[in-house]
Structure 1
Amino acid sequence: MSLSFEELLDEGFGVDVEAHWGAGFLTGRYRAGATSWTWAGLTDPALQGASAALDLGTGEGGKLAELPGLPPLTVATEEWMATVPAAVQTLVPRGIHLVVAGGARENTRPTEARRTGLPFRDSSYDVVLSLHDAFDPEEVRRVLKPGGRFVTQQVGSDETASVRALLGLDTEPEGWDLAEAIRQTEAGGLRVTGSGEERPAARFTDIAALIAYLRTIPWSVPELDRSAMHDKFAELHTRGELHSISHRFWLSAVA
């Protein structure tokens, strides 16, 4: 039996998106478009022969744990306490060390004051990874050994602009794309050796999925409000499945 419009609003605004970033609820209800690359495919060349790797902002640790060929010393950082217990459960049994540490300032706001640096010594790692997490190129370069590799995949700002347009909101771009990431990375002293960028289609099965998704990234639509946006939600509900775009890019670099 399908849910009514108001029941879908209850569902979207009521689901707990903190403990698991809404992943369980959104599985099958939000589908980001597939890219021509995979995270494992991007990271494998860098991890081959490495003895020490660092994963920035590991989240619950699942994506890191899935990577083949992790080196004997693999360390992950995470700053959000809501996800730390799940990360411990996923990573520690696999011999991966978890360090609770603050992340970098957002790459979309490079003029803001820098945060405290990474809690690691200079030249500690052969590889630094960052999957959908902010990174400070200067700190990445500092903790990498000479010739060490940095690999990151990021969510570009066109993705936020797409869902804001869906809601009829202004879509002034933040300018976080591959070109800007390369600029910041090279300014931080790293040499970019490979990159790619795509904008595949994405879809939400219903209005509840869209709302839950937006609640996992509250900075993208701070105006999100059930009462104020009720009429817009009702209009979107009549469409059924909702379409937007994903914006993904990656780069690899050498210290």
Structure 2
Amino acid sequence: MTPRSFDDLVAEAESVSVAGWDFSWLDGRATEQRPSWGYQRSLGTRLAGATAALDIQTGGGEVLAGAGPLPPVMAATESWPPNVAKATALLHPLGAVVVADPDEPPLPFADGAFDLVTSRHPATVWWSEIARVLRPGGTYFAQHVGPASVFELVEYFLGPQPEEVRRKRHPDDESRDAEAAGLEIADLRAESLRMEFFDIGAVIYFLRKVIWMVPGFTVDGYRDRLRELDAKIRAEGPFVAHSTRFLIEARKPA
């Protein structure tokens, strides 16, 4: 089979929709090792024992919808309008209400409204708000993106980043902030996970979808670097990076 041209791969990756939080378009084009703790499966276990739960920054609702039966009261928040619409269509039939929320304090819920608050890869974490909407004895259970995640790719486009940028979202800092908000850390686990990008289209799709990796990314703005990376992948094989993830479980004292 004749290899596809740079321009062909670019045009395809630029045109595909990046709404939602489903990465199936990358099947066969990129891989990412999964954390050992199995977040979605563990989320399902916790939802099964909850009476009222909130999923913050739910994206397109895919993770929550796939976690299993939802508790009697289930709410989710999301800020990006295309994801709000997608999550509503997916989660409403399952009994969840999706609330459009700007991801800034305050959360649009009363004090002590939930016995479980969850999130997968929140862009921002407002610990005081999480503590406020949790009932005494309630739990925050989440998988966060860790420090310097996929920075091999970030620094390919942006150059070396200062240490204060590389350290952002460190689990030690997150746990300290959670404790400052009055929560107690019950579990904290971190892993570095191998990623591979097999063609330049996969790189473009990823950067269009995960917009905070290279802020303001456009193909036109980085065409020269993309062309160089395309040549590198063709000559040397997949571009390898490493994502960082940590599992955090924090409880509000009873």
Distance 1:13 1:64, change over 3 A: same
Distance 1:126 1:200 in 2: 31
Secondary structure class of the residue paired with 1:158: coil
Decide whether the 8 Å contact of 2:197 with 2:203 is kept in 1. yes
Partner of 2:194: 201
1:109 aligned partner: none
Matched, 1:52 2:52: yes
Q: Distance in 2 between matches of 1:102 and 1:227?
A: 29
1:6-155 aligned at under 5 Å gives the runs 6-17=7-18, 19-20=19-20, 23-44=23-44, 46-103=46-103, 115-133=104-122, 134-155=124-145
Tell me how far 1:127 sits from its aligned partner: 0.3
Report the counterpart of residue 186 of structure 1 in structure 2. Answer: 179
Aligned-pair CA distance for 1:77: 1.1
How far is 1:70 from its partner? 2.6
Q: Partners of 1:218 and 1:40 in 2: how far apart? A: 23
Aligned residues: 243
The structure where helix makes up a greater share of residues is 2
Secondary structure of 2:82 counterpart: coil
In structure 1, runs of 5+ residues without a counterpart are 104-114
Deviation at 1:165, TM superposition (A): 2.9
* Alignment partners' CA distance in 2, 1:230 and 1:50: 49
Partner letter of residue 56 of structure 1? I
CA distance in 2, matches of 1:233, 1:139: 40
Paired AA for residue 135 in structure 1:
V
Rounded Cα–Cα distance in structure 1 between residues aligned with 2:22 and 2:30: 10
Shift of 1:65: 1.3
User: In structure 1, what is the Cα distance between the partners aligned to 2:96 and 2:22?
Assistant: 24
Among 128, 149, 167, the residue aligned to 1:159: 149
Q: What is the alpha-carbon distance in structure 1 between the residues aligned to residue 214 and residue 92 of structure 2?
A: 35
Map Cα deviations across residues 112-164 of structure 1 (whole Å, 9 max, x no partner): xxx33011111111100011112211111111110101011111232142212
Q: Which amino acid aligns with 1:59?
A: G
What is the rounded CA distance, in whole Å, between the counterparts of 1:140 and 1:231 in structure 2?
43
| Residue range with higher mean Cα deviation, 171-180 or 117-126 | 171-180
Kept in 2, the 8 Å contact 1:12–1:209? The answer is: yes
User: Where does residue 252 of structure 1 map in the other structure?
Assistant: 249
1:206-225 mapped onto 2 (5 Å cutoff): 206-222=199-215, 224-225=217-218
Higher mean C-alpha deviation, range 131-140 or range 228-237:
228-237
Cα distance 1:38–1:22, how it changes in 2: closer, same or farther (>3 A)? closer
1:5 aligned partner = 6
CA 1:7/1:45 → structure 2, altered by over 3 Å: closer, same or farther?
closer
TM-score (norm 2): 0.87
| AA partner of residue 245 (structure 1) | H
Deviations along 1:147-186, one digit per CA (max 9) or x if unpaired, are 1010111112321422123446223315212112112211
Kindly provide the amino acid, as one letter, of the partner of residue 200 in structure 1: L
CA distance in 2, matches of 1:168, 1:81: 28
Q: In 2 relative to 1, CA 202–51 (structure 1 residues): closer, same or farther, beyond 3 Å?
A: same
User: Residue 148 of structure 2: SS of its match in structure 1?
Assistant: helix
